[in-house]
Chains A and B, each alone.
Chain A
Amino acid sequence: MVKLTIDGKEVKVPAGTTILAAAKSAGISIPTLCFHGRLDPIGSCRMCVVEIEGCAHPMAACTTPVVEGISVTTNSERLQRIRKDSLKLILVNHPLDCPICDKGGECLLQDLVYEFGIDRVEYQTPKPERSSQYATPLIRYWPDRCIMCLRCVTACREIKGIGAIDIKGAGYGSQVVVIDEDKCQSCGECLQVCPTGALTENLSRYKGRPWLVKRVPTTCTYCGCGCQLELNVEQNRVMAVTTKEGKGVNRGSLCVKGRFGYEFINSEERLTKPLIKKDGEFREASWDDALSLVAEKFKSIKEESGPDAIAGLSSARCTNEENYLFQKFMRAVIGTNNVDHCARL
C-alpha cells in the first residue's frame, strides 16, 4: 500500500493506483472530461490536473500513479485557471447548438462549462477545417461539436479491439477520421462513450429529449449473451437504446443489433394480435381462438400420422426458460424429439 496526502487528507491505496482513483476513494472529486472508467486514461483534456508538492508542473491525476509520501492539492487558483483555459479553448469553436443537440442535458462539456461558470471566451481563432465524413447509416458525426477527447478512438481500439477510427493530421487541423471503413461494424461503442453530441445515432435524432425519456432496464433479446441495456421510452415508444457504464455482462457495450435494432418494437407492421386465414385471407382473431385452432390441428396430425410428423423450431432469442418449456412441450405433450432452434442453422 502507498500512503499519500490529498488536500490534507491521508489516503492509503495499492501501488499503481492513479491519483484520480486515490482521490475518488477518499471522496475527493476532481473534474474530468476525457476520462472514462472503461478506458485506459487518455489525458487529452487536462481538466484533472493537480499540484504535487515539490513538482514544478501540475500533473494529470488520471495518468499519474501515486508515489509514497506525496502531497497532492486538487484545487487552487492556478489549477482553476488551467481548467478554465482548457474549457474556454474548446468553446472557441464549439457550436452553441445545445438547443438542438441530442446530447443537450446530459453533455459533460455543458455540465463543466456550467460548473466553472464560463460566460465569455476571450480567445479567438478561425474554425478548423474538418473534412472528415466519419459516418455510417446508423451513426452520425458532427465534426464541429467534436472536442477530440479521443474517447471514441480509444474505445474502438481498446474495448472493441477494432481500431476503425483514429486521429490524423497535426495541430489545430488534426481530426478524427475513419482509417478503415471495412473495419467499422457500427456497434456504436464510440457514441456510447462520446461526452458531447459529436456522435449521435441517426435513428433517434430529434425524437426526444434525454430528460423526458424513461429508461427501462432490460435484457437484450438478440442472442443468448444477456447484455443489459436500457430502453429509452417516451409515450410508450422506444426512442433509443443506451447502456450504463460497467453494468451487466456487457459492462456497457453493445453490438450493432442490440444498440440499433429496436425499431421493430414500435413498427406498424408488427403483429400484435394472432391472425387466422379464412377463405384465403388473414383475419384478426382472439388468442383463445388461435390457440384452440393450433391445438386441434396438432391433435389431428398426431392421430393421423404420429407425433414424429410434427417438428418444433425454437429461437435463440427466447430465454433459456422459454426454450426449456418448449422442448418439454414437444416431448411431453406432442411426444416427439424433433426439436431444434435457429442458432444451429
Chain B
Amino acid sequence: MAEILFSSWGGEVVDNRGKEPQDFETVGKVSLPEYFQQDEEIKALIGWYGIVLRSAEVNVVDLCRTYMEEVQQQSCGKCFLCRIGTRVIADTLGRLCRGQGRPADLELIAGLAESISESSKCNIGQSGPLPLLHALEHFADDFAAAAGGAAVPAGKYRSRLTAPCMDACPIHLDIPTYVECIKEGKFQESLEVIRERLPLPGVVGRVCVRPCEEHCRRANLDEAISIKFLKRFVADYELDHGREPEYQVVPSAKTGKVAIVGAGPAGVTCAYHLARKGHQVTIYERLGEPGGMSAVGIPDYRLPRQILRHEVEMIQKLGVTIHYNTEVGKDVKLSQLEADFDAVFVAIGAHLSSSMRVEGEDAGYQGFIPGVKYLLDINSGIDPYPEGKKVVVVGGGNVAIDCVRCSFRIGKEDVNLVYRRTEKEMPADDVEIHDAKEEKVNFHFLTQPIKVLAENGKVVGLECIKMQLGEPDESGRRRPEPVEGSEFVIDCDIVVPAIGQTIDLSLLEGVDNVKTTRWHTIVVNEDTKQTENPKIFSAGDCETGPGALITACAGGRKAAFNIDKFINDEPLVATENDYFDKFFSQVKVYDPQEEIGFIGGRPRYQLKMLPPDTRKYTFDEVEQGFSPQEAMAEADRCLRCYRVATIAVG
C-alpha cells in the first residue's frame, strides 16, 4: 500500500513529509483505502476527523476549498455560525484559489473556523471546519503561497455526507433527519424520510437489530438514541390516526414485469421500489401470509401480525400482486417465471433448521421439533406437541430465544435453553436475553447436547455435556471444549434445535447459471444482486445466509434498482454511493473512543413494558411504544452527527 505522507486523523498527527520512505511513521488512527474504484486512486482524504494525504500532488488549499464548499452545502441553516460562517470561509478559500486572496484572510478564516467548530449546534458545524484548522496549522506554507498569489491547481474530488448511524444502517436510512422531524413534531415527514428507502417502518421499528444504535455517538456521552422505537413511533402514529401513506410513483423510461419469489422483507422491499418505478410486480409466496421469516419466525408478542400485514397491504396499493400459498419449484417452476417475466428476484429466505449432529435427531421421535417449525406452528395458533410440557431449546440466537419465550405462552411449564458458550457470546439481542430471564427461562450455559433420549419413540430427555472456553476461534469467540466426564441429562419431552437455518435451494432446479456456495447460499454480484443468469437476481437470507431483517431489506432495495437498470438496458455497475459505502466501512465513521466534549446526563426514555408475570402467558405485544411527548423528548437527545468527507482522486 502506498504510504501516507501526512495524517491528522482523530488527533494523531503523523508527518512523513521530507522523510525517506524507510523512516515513514505508520498511521494508526485510520486506514485509507488505496482505490476508490478500479483505476481511481485515493490521493487524500479530508473529513470530520482531519486530513490524510497520500500524494504530494494534492493541493491542500484547493482540497480545503472543495471540502468547505461541500460542508456549506450540507449545512442545515439552523444555526448562525455554521450557516453563514462556512459560506464566508468557502468564499474566502475560493478567492485564495483564484489568486485574489490577501494574507489577512488566513487569520480571518482560522478565527472563524474555530468559532464555528466550538459552538455550532450540530456536528456539521462542529466537525466541518476542524480539518481546515489542521490544514492551516500543518500546511501554512501552501496557504501563504496561495495568499501571495501563487497558482492553485484544481484537483478532482468526490464528496459525501454521512453519519455514524446512517453508515451503520445496512439500508442507510437518513436517521438524523427523520429523528429531527420527530423532535419538531413532523411525524408524517419523518415517515416519508424513512419510506424513501424502507417500506416497513412499523416492522423494522419493532424487531431491528439496530446497528445504528451501536454506532450512536450519543452513547459516548450517556446512552444511544432509541432510534428503533422512534421509527416504530411514527409508523404507529400514522396507523393510530387512520392515515395511509402516499407513495410517489415515478415510472422509469421502460417498465416491465418482474416476478418475486418470497414475500419476506427482501421481496417486499424489492417489490416496493420496483412498483414506485412503475414496474408490474408479482410476488409468489409459499405461505398463506406475508412476511416470510419475519412472520413465521418472530412471535406476535414482539411483532404483532397486523402490523406486518398492514404494511404489506399498503404496498399492494401500489399495484403489487401477491399469490399466497404458491410455492415456486412445486406449484410453479422458476424456469417458467424466468420465461414469463422480464426479471426474477429470488428472496426465499432460510427456512430449514440446521442439524445439531447429535445422536437421535434424525430418528423421528415425537417431541423433537426443529426451531423454525416450532415457531411456525405456534404462530399459526397450533401447539406443535400438546402432550409435552418440559421444553429444551438448543441455541443462542434470536430464534432460540423466541422459541423459549413462546413456550411459556403456549402453556409449557418448564422451559430450558441450552447454549454451548457463555451468555456473553450469545448472538441473540441483549434485550431479548434480559426479557427471557425476567420470564424465568432456565439458562444452561456452557452446555452442549450430545444425545436425544427417547422411550417408545417419544422424547424423554436430552443428554448434555458441560463445556469450558478454550482459545479464540476464527470468529474471535473463545472455542468451547467439552469437559470430560461431565455428562448429565435434562429431563424433557420436547427438544427444539435452534442453532441456525439453511436454505432450501430445490427451486433452482432447471434454471441455468445460478451458482450456489457450499453454505447453500445463492451467489450474486454484491453490487448489483444479479446472479450469473442475467435475468435472475437474489438477496436476503438466501443470499447472505440467516441475517438481520434490515440487511434483507437493503438487499431487496439494491436488487430493485438494478432490476430497473436491467429492464432499461442500462449497464449494471456499482454506483458512487456503493463505492462510498465501502470507503466509509474501511475509514470508519464511528469512533467509540471519541471524546465528544459535552456533558451528557440525559439517559434515553424507556418504553413501558408488560410485567413479566403477565406477558409470559400472552402473545400481546410486550413493548408499549412511545407517547408523542416521549418520542419528541427522546428525539431531542440526537446530536445530529452528520459529517462530510471529501477525497482527492486521480
Contacts of A175 in B (CB 8 A): 77
Find chain A residues with CB under 8 A from B597 CB.
55-57
In the complex, chain A residues whose CB is within 8 Å of the CB of B87:
125, 171-172
Chain B nearest CB, measured from A43 CB (Å)? 5
- A171 pairs with B88, CB closer than 8 A: no
Map CB proximity to A onto B338-355 as digits: 1 under 8 Å, 0 otherwise: 000000000000000000
Residues in chain A near residue B184, CB distance under 8 A = 157
- Contact B77 A148, beta carbon cutoff 8 Å: yes
Which residue of B has the minimal Cβ distance to A87?
B80
Tell me whether A70 and B121 are in contact in the complex, defined as CB-CB below 8 angstroms, given that A44-B79, A85-B85, A148-B77 are known contacts.
no
Residue B78 CB within 8 A of the other chain: yes
Residues of B within 8 A of A45 (CB): 79-80
A56 touches B595 (CB 8 A): yes
Question: Is A255 among interface residues, defined by CB-CB distance under 8 A?
Answer: no
Tell me the A122-144 residues at the B interface (CB within 8 Å). Answer: 122-126
Q: Given contacts A81-B115, A150-B78, A172-B75, are A59 and B599 in contact (CB under 8 A)?
A: yes
Taking the complex as formed, is B86 at the interface, i.e. its CB lies under 8 A from any CB of chain A?
yes
A103 at the interface (CB under 8 A from B): no
A43, B75: Cβ atoms closer than 8 Å: no
User: Counting CB contacts under 8 A, is B81 at the interface?
Assistant: yes
- Shortest beta-carbon distance, B449 to chain A, in Å? 50
B88 and A46 contacting across the interface, CB-CB below 8 Å: no
Nearest CB in chain B: distance from A32 CB, A:
13
How many residue pairs, one in A and one in B, have C-beta atoms under 8 Å apart? 127
Check A44 against B80 for contact (C-beta < 8 Å). yes
Whether B84 and A57, one on each chain, are in contact in the complex, defined by CB atoms closer than 8 angstroms, is: no
B585 at the interface (CB under 8 A from A): no
- CB-defined interface of A56-67 with B at 8 Å, one 1/0 digit per residue? 111110001101
Task: Please measure, in the bound complex, the distance between the C-alpha atom of A45 and the C-alpha atom of B85, giving whole angstroms.
Answer: 12
Determine whether the beta carbon of B79 is less than 8 Å from that of A171. Answer: no
The DSSP consensus for interface residues of chain A is: loop
Known: A56-B597, A67-B601. A167 touches B88 (CB 8 A): no
Contact between B121 and A170 (Cβ–Cβ < 8 Å)?
A: no
* Complex CA–CA separation, A68 to B120 (angstroms): 24
State whether A90 and B80 are in contact (beta carbons under 8 Å apart), knowing that A64-B599, A122-B108, A172-B72 are contacts in the complex: yes
In the bound assembly, the distance between CA atoms of A174 and B76 in angstroms comes to: 7
User: A residues within 8 A CB of B75?
Assistant: 170-172, 174
Contacting pair A170 B118 (CB below 8 A) = no
Alpha-carbon distance A106/B300, docked complex (angstroms) = 60
| Cβ of B317 under 8 Å from chain A | no
Q: CA separation between A92 and B81, bound complex, in Å?
A: 12
CA distance A326 to B446 in the complex (A): 89
Q: How far is the CA of A198 from the CA of B83 in the complex (A)?
A: 18
Give B89 Cβ to nearest chain A Cβ, in Å.
9
Closest A residue to B597 by beta carbon equals A56
- B119 at the A/B interface (Cβ < 8 Å)? yes
B73 within 8 A of A: yes
**Which A residues are CB-close (under 8 A) to B77?**
148, 167, 169-175
Please indicate the chain B residues that have their CB under 8 angstroms from the CB of A57 in the complex: 118-119, 126, 596-598
Taking a contact as CB atoms under 8 Å apart, the answer to whether A92 and B84 are in contact is: yes
Q: Which residues of chain B come closer than 8 Å to A170, judged between CB atoms? A: 73-77
B186 at the interface (CB under 8 A from A): yes
Contact A89 B118 (CB under 8 A): no
- Give the nearest-CB partner of A167 in chain B: B77
User: Nearest Cβ distance between residue A309 and chain B, in whole angstroms?
Assistant: 53
Residues of B within 8 A of A93 (CB): 84
Q: How distant is the Cα of A169 from the Cα of B83 in the complex, in angstroms?
A: 11
Contact in complex: B599, A85 (CB < 8 Å) = no
Question: Is A171 a contact of B80 with CB atoms below 8 Å?
Answer: no
Bound Cα distance from A44 to B120, whole angstroms = 9
CB pair B118 A123 closer than 8 Å: no
A43's partner among B79, B116, B601 (CB-CB below 8 A) is B79
User: B71-124: which residues lie under 8 A (CB-CB) from chain A?
Assistant: 72-81, 83-88, 91, 108, 111-112, 114-116, 118-121
A59 adjacent to B81 (CB under 8 Å): no
Contact call B112/A85, Cβ cutoff below 8 A: yes
Contact with B along A31-69 (1 / 0, CB 8 A): 000000000000111100100101111111000110110
Chain B residues within 8 Å of A163, by CB: 185-186
Bound CA span A65–B599, Å:
9
Query: Is the Cβ of A174 less than 8 Å from the Cβ of B601?
Result: no
B78 near A44 (CB under 8 angstroms)? yes
- Indicate with 1 or 0, residue by residue over A15-45, a CB within 8 angstroms of chain B CB atoms: 0000000000000000000000000000111
* Contact of B602 with A by CB under 8 A: yes
Chain B neighbourhood of A58, CB < 8 A: 118-119
Q: Is the CB of A70 within 8 A of B186?
A: no
On chain A, the residues within 8 Å of B114 by CB distance are: 81
| Binary flags per residue of A154-185, CB closer than 8 Å to B gives 1, else 0 | 00011000010001011111110000000000
Q: Could you pull out 21 A-B pairs where Cβ atoms are within 8 angstroms?
A: A45-B79, A49-B119, A52-B599, A55-B599, A57-B126, A57-B597, A65-B602, A81-B111, A85-B81, A85-B112, A85-B115, A86-B81, A125-B87, A126-B91, A148-B77, A167-B77, A170-B73, A172-B72, A172-B83, A173-B77, A174-B78
Top 3 closest A-B pairs, CB basis? A174-B77, A56-B597, A172-B87
- Chain A residues packing against B (C-beta within 8 Å): 43-46, 49, 52, 54-60, 64-65, 67-68, 70, 78, 81-82, 85-86, 89-90, 92-93, 122-126, 147-148, 150, 157-158, 163, 167, 169-175
